[in-house]
Each structure stands twice: as structure tokens, then as C-alpha cells.
Amino acid sequence: MLAVLLALSCALPFVVAAVAGLYVVYAVLMKPAKHRFPPASDVSSAARSKVVICVGDSLTQATVSGDWLGILRARFPELSFLNAGVNGDCAYNVAVKARAIRECRPAAVVVLVGTNDAKAELNGSWGKHSRLYNGLPQEPSYDFFRSSLGSALEILLGLDPVERPCLAVLTLPMLGETPDHIGNREVVSRYNQALKDVAADAGKAGGDLEVLDLNRALWLRVKELESTTRALQPPPVAKFMGLMWQGAALHYLLGWSWDSVGRRQGQTVMSDALHLNDTGAAVIAQLVGDWLVKTGNRSLGEATPTKEYHLRYFRIVGLIGEGSFGSVYEVCDLRPTLSGANPLGLDRRCALKILHRRQYLAQDMLARAKQERQVLKAARHPFIVRLLCAFRTPGGEMALVMEYCPNGNLNDFIVRNGQPGLPEALSRKLIAEVLLALGYLHDELDVVFRDLKPENIVLDVAMHAKLTDFGLAKAEASSGTGARSFVGSMFFVAPEVTPAASRRYGPAVDIYALGLVAWVAFTGGVTSRAGSEAFPREAPLLSSCQNQRLPPESHEAMRAWLDERREESFSFGPGPGPKQSPRMSSLAFAFVDTTTSTEPLRRGSASELRYHPFFAQSPLHPPLAEFSDWVALLPSVVEEEEPMSPASVNTEDSWSYGATRGS
């Protein structure tokens, strides 16, 4: 008996602590939300123009879900966000409080509701619980959801057109991360279609109303992340209640993040098969934030994302490349915004390019550094790296933050692949992507790249080619005197680029360099030669790879290589010629022969080369015979990357150095 009493006395503190902990969790989860919607008479019109009310259920209240309103508050510090989310609320509850929301005369209202309506259809006991817990006049149903949501939108849009708020309605997220579950395949899809129909009917009466497709955005994020983050099968939605309490205990008692809770259960954007983790919350904040930016000029005054960038917002992970004019680092983006390439709160990777200002000033190249920033700001193309922001470091250095491409540059990729080069199908796809980027620069922006080489073609996570390093780009190349300067990388310059700068040249120099890049990709190139990096006014950064793969050492050597193989007769089919590399077909040979012509006019423009037999007649994938085939190269990239593109780029001229700033 004494031993039992002793054991009980030892265990008692742990039992008390566990009970107290569970009580704390219970108190947090069951604590009712307190919302005060101040009447319009208590708030000035200027203050009301900055108010955004977010109404919905537990996904908005965020006691058991990632806090997407917190992300928006950090992104838009000048706005006032009111959280009108209540755990367990259905569309009927939103309709009841719609009049109180309307009386506030807010500038914008965001509605995220319907998950509790939909899940009640999967389990009758959930419907009974919702009716009792949330004071519904009847159990949730599809028809009740439609009518309640319609009433809510009608009330919110019923104001005078002058004071009517901008209104965003988000589609329902998934019920668990299993796409073929009946809850997602039938129930959620049916409710989302009803939501879109109701919103369309409400919008006909007038007002600024937009449906934001949260469901689609979440599934895209799941597809993107599941191969790297998912270790377990996601749980079914039927287990959400137990998982919710378990996750709340881990979060509130042990300090786990909602992302960690979700990963423990095999989920990527959810925490318990019903609620969203921090990653899922970031998706909501991205959608709503971009919508606020779009509507900002009409109703939110100067509502724009924070533009104050500083070196402290970026943690250096490693060095990508360096040279005498600067260095490029892989960094983790710590900014409390969603403007990076990856809108996750934990691991947003970017490329940080630090340009050494004093070196640029000594070489009279500061104008080129500014030109690089301006070209990147103007460029909006899936095969050109995106500029996320620009700022000055505390030491006065110039900094560019760009999207990070984890597969490195084409030169390093060719080195890793080994000779005799890359498979022709892969080379053809990458060359086609670069050709589209050059066409965009030449035709849309009137820019000549002037430094095309394998080191300046980087490969993103999906192995798409992107142009980077615009330090030598020439804008307005077709006007005035055009381009004459003797710049570029020694073994990739066209014959018309001469030391005497006596000839004017244009986009054809990029086509010539593309032909040399193609030759290197097909053959594996030749290893770097001594002094290959020493060239007047070379691009500021050198490759981190010391083993550069280069074309023949001169224009004459390139033509000699081609002429030697041209002597052998072969037909222009997909097969290799007798003396050609086994990785270069006759069509590939013809493409290199055309693009490396010493006569600029014979090379063809970027748009004309799309019809070259190398693309139009090749049996390789992807097919590129028709214009529609080229268009098809773009959407898959744009579809995936558009939600992750920055909301804005810093437009302040933070690189203007006057006498007071030193030189």
C-alpha cells in the first residue's frame, strides 16, 4: 500500500499538469470570438477607407489554423484588418452578421465560409452539432448554404454604390488532402460551383465582387510540395476532430508550428484534415493580398505591400558565384511578406546579388548596374528570372533579390552530365525556351542581351531555362546609334562585335551566341582555356564552376568545324551525319550552321527561327511545328508560377548616389 501511495504521489504532479494543459487548450478552442463592429458614425471616412473585414469560420478565427490575417497585417501595415471569424460558423451565421458588417462601411470584405456546411453532408452527427453549437434554424444542407450565402452577399452589396465595399469570396478548401475522396470529388466541388453561381447572381446587381479560387490554389501547392514534404499518407477528414485536439495540444503546450503538426500527420497544407496549417494560410494570404493590391487604387487608397527592404531580411545559405564586380548568394527570405518565389513562411529561397559599388564606380559602370535593374523590372516572362526587390546594403553596396533556380546554370549542368553533351531532346527544349526569352527581349522590350552563354542560363526546379545577369544588356537597341560597345564574353561574341567599336550591331549578336550555346550543349564543348575570362568589360560575375565548357576558340575555327562535317553528304533527317557527334542530328547541325553564320542577316531573328527545321521537323518532344505548340511551352510555367510572383517591385531609386552619399 505504501508503494502504491508513493507512486500516486509521484504521478500526481504530472497528472495535474496534463489536466491543466488540456484545460488551457480547451479554453483556447472554446473561447467565443469577440467582435465589435464600430458603427460608421464612430469612424471617420478616412479610417473606414482602410478597414478590411474578414468573415468566416475557424479558418479565419485561426485558433486551430494558420493565421492568414496575421500575414496580411504584416504585408499591409497601413490597413486595419478585423477578424470576424468564428469557430464552427456556417453560411447562415455570416448572413446574420452581414448587417453589422455593413454598418461599419468597410472598404473591403473577405468571405471564407462553407466548410462546415459541406462537411455536415458527409456525417449527420456533424450537422446536428453545427445546428446546436451555432444556433442554426435547421441542419446545414446544400440548399440552405445557397440561400444563406445569397442573402449574405445581397446584404453586403446592398449599400449605396458610393459606400459599397469591394467583396471577395473564397472557394471552399479541400476536406482532407485525398483528391479522390467523396468529400472532395463530389461534395466540395458541388458546393464550390454553387458558391460561384451565387456570387455571379449577386454580382449582376452591381458592385465589385470577385471569387478567389482558394481550392485550386491549395491543390496546386499540394502538388508542388508533396514530393518533398510528405512522408505519410494524409488522414481522412473523418478523423479531423481527434487530430484537431491533438494538434492543438502540440501547438499550445509544446510550441509546435501548425506546419510541424501537419507534417506529423502526413499533410502539406492542412493541420488536421479540415483546418489549414501555416503553409495553407500563406496561400490564402497570397490570394487575398494580391486581390487587395488590385483593388487598392479604387477603394483602399494607396494600399500597397511594404516596400522597405533591408539586408537583415535575408539569411545567407551559400555562395552561388562571385567575381570582381560582385557575388551571388543563395539566401532564405525572412521578410513578413508573400512577395518571394516561394510563399511559405519557413523556407523561401531567393538569389541575392550584391554588386560592389566602388568597383563599378572605378570602372565607370554604375550606369550598367542600374540598367540591369531596369531591364529586370520591366521583364515579365517565364524564361527570364524575376526581380523581387532592390535595395542598398548598410555598407552602400547595391543588391538585387531574384528568384532562385536550384538546378544551377547550364554550364555546370553540362559538366555534370559529361561529354558528348546533353541529349538532343533536352537541349532542343532548353534552346526553344531561351529563343522565346530572346524574342521577348528583342521584340517587346527592344533589348539586346549581349552576354548569352551557358553560365547565364539558369535552370529552375522544373528544369526550365531562364536568362539571368543583365549587366551588359542594351536597352533601346534599335534607336539612336544602337549598340557598338566591345562587350560580352570572349568566346561567345559575334564577328560584328569588334574592339574598334566601328560597327553597329543588334539582336543578331544574341542569335549568334545562341548557336554557340547550342553547339556546347550538343557536343559538351571544349574545356576552358587560359585567359578565357579576361575580356574587356566582361559581365560582372563569373561562374562558380572553374571548368567552363566553351565553343571553338574563334569564328574561323567554328566555321572550319562546320565545313569539315558539311563535306560528308547526309539528308536533313533526324539521324546523325557520318562525322557528327552522336548527340547532334543533321537538324541540330543545320541549326548551329544557320545561327553561327558570319552574316547577321542570314542567322534569322528569334521569331523566324521558330520555323527552323530543327524545331518544325524534329520528331522529338515537345512538338514545335505549329505556333500553338510554341504557345503551349508557356502556360505550364505561368500557371504554376503566377501565384508566387511578387506583388510589387521596389520602385524607389535607392541606387541614386549623390555627393552626400560618397562614391
Query: In order of start, what are the domains of the chain with their CATH numbers?
Result: 33-231+277-299 (3.40.50.1110), 311-405+646-656 (3.30.200.20), 410-644 (1.10.510.10)
Mean pLDDT of the chain: 77
- pLDDT tens column, 272-308: 878 888 889 888 988 898 888 777 534 454 444 444 4
Closest CA to 475 of 377, 375, 390, 387: 375
- pLDDT tens column, 307-320: 445 677 788 888 88
pLDDT of residue 432: 96
Tell me: pLDDT of 631 over 80.
yes
Dist. CA 146–CA 113, nearest whole Å: 12
How sure is the predictor about 48, in pLDDT bands with cuts at 50, 70 and 90?
A: low
- pLDDT tens column, 212-227: 999 999 998 888 776 5
CA angle centred on 132, ends 93 and 24, rounded to 5°: 90
Dist. CA 111–CA 91, nearest whole Å: 10
CB 168 within 8 A of CB 111: yes
Tell me: pLDDT of 94 over 90.
yes
- pLDDT tens column, 184-203: 889 999 999 999 999 988 87
The residue among 620 and 365 whose pLDDT is bigger is: 620
- pLDDT tens column, 55-90: 999 889 888 888 999 888 887 877 889 999 988 899
Beta strands in 371-438 (DSSP E): 387-392, 398-403
- pLDDT tens column, 238-251: 676 788 878 788 88
CB 50 within 8 A of CB 76: no
Average of per-residue pLDDT across 248-262: 83
pLDDT of residue 263: 81
Highest mean pLDDT among 266-275, 462-471, 520-529: 462-471
pLDDT of residue 311: 73
Pick from 106-110, 410-414, 483-487: least confident = 483-487
Pick from 31-40, 42-51, 428-437, 654-663: least confident = 654-663
| Helix residue spans in 483-554 (DSSP H) | 508-523
Pick from 300-309, 352-361, 520-529, 595-604: least confident = 300-309
How sure is the predictor about 522, in pLDDT bands with cuts at 50, 70 and 90?
A: very high
Dist. CA 256–CA 479, nearest whole Å: 59
pLDDT of residue 656: 39
Please provide residue 458's backbone torsions phi and psi, each rounded to the nearest 5 degrees: -105, 160
pLDDT of residue 7: 60
Tell me: pLDDT of 538 over 80.
no
